[in-house]
Structure 1
Amino acid sequence: MVSIIDDTYEYATLDELRILTDAIQRWPDVIATLEDSPPYIQMCYKSLVETYDEIEDEMQKTGESYRVQYAIQEMKKLVMVYFEEAKWLFSNHVPTMEEYMKVCIPSCAYMSISTASLVGRGDQVSKEDFDWITNEPLILVASSTICRLMDDLVGEEFEQKTSAIECYMKQYGVSKEEACAELQRQVENAWKDMNGECIIETRSTSMKILMGIFNLGRVMHHLYADGDGYSDPNRSKELVKMLFVEPVKI
């Protein structure tokens, strides 16, 4: 769903996105029909609502349906930053790095995905864990930073959105190579933050939850280390085969 919504916000018109964003912000209190919107906007919204309804139905069986509301709130935050990115694109606005990171760290969706990943984990998590993760702890910001900047470093040339490279070059008047070097340095610093958050003395939640967030950073690092392994289905398939299908010869 995150991938579908991301693509929708990248290619739909601003008026269409304004309607979709408003509908998602009013959900679940108001379920819109969006009858006057194009079929793909209606399909996106309907699929999103049905997906979370299905999850909530499952969680009601265990008395934990309250958890879905945390995931819904994070999805609402996500579409708001997607809409902000779309407005930049339609107005040809190149934000400062500070503006960019404020919007585009959450727009990588790791905050939404991390929250949703806790919903079905039973007694491994508590309400306090949901409160912790929705307050954007350092490890989650660091994992999101790795995702965003590595995505920008390999996808800047073909994605229909503003990139950190473009923002950094304009703000500081440097070459693309210098901008890329700085973003790579920021990725390395984010890994240091990730490691620091996993040290026993600094842990703010269980290691199981921390490792879920840590592994999201690993996924993006692995997919984007040598090119765009997310958008290239053949490369993604090979990575999955190597990691989970083909046996390791000893």
Structure 2
Amino acid sequence: MRIKAVGTSGGKTIRNFLTTFLIDGVLTLDCGSVCTGLGLPQQLEIKDVFISHVHMDHIGELPLLVDNKALYGKSVTVYATKTTIRHLRDHVFNGIIWPDFEKIPAGDAPALVYREVEYYQEIKVGEYLLTPLPVNHIEGSAGCYVQKGNIGFAYTSDTGKTDAIWKWLRGQKALRGVVTECSFPSTMENLAVISHHLSGNMLEGELNKLGSGTDVFIYHLKPQFSDQIRAEIRGLGVHVLTDGEEIVL
């Protein structure tokens, strides 16, 4: 399994791309910079999209991806919780902010197709088995566990302190890698708590819940505090991702 970290930043600058992870060129986890970070031929190869939640840095370029693919007669299937799908329909693809692509054809299918997912209920997405997992962020948020053959990969998306996802992941013998977040330095822990994110100190506690033996990759650093966060978590045995980097499991 090859996971391209197209966008890894917790904030946007000219040099920072927003959350997008591309698995084997066909399955995307979130769409913060899916068009900014990928050429059109790569975009057209994407078949399925998992949306963790509807914050702008995770969905910002989903409308553009759907539009790009529709012009070539290709549809996009979005997997998300019931709450997330409702927000996408009501507030994004509503005919005002962006066209309702469920009503626009792309070949023999609508340009945009939704598939509702439920926590802990494994579904088949192409060659992958995907299990949505609860996290501590906004209503309807979900991380996910993706398995192909005997290789498993987990993505917490944005989250504050939580227990459920770590408990579930500890039982997955195929788990090889986890992407989780660290948004703020420990001096801003109060803001991390209020916004349901993690600081450096909080990250250490979460990793203890996961246990050892799994590669851990960190994303979503606020670019204003990137150096400070990196210094804080340097001793935790994790790898901080950069835009465009590839994880091979």
TM-score (norm 1): 0.28
Say which structure is richer in helix. 1
Asked which structure has the greater CA Rg, the reply is: 1
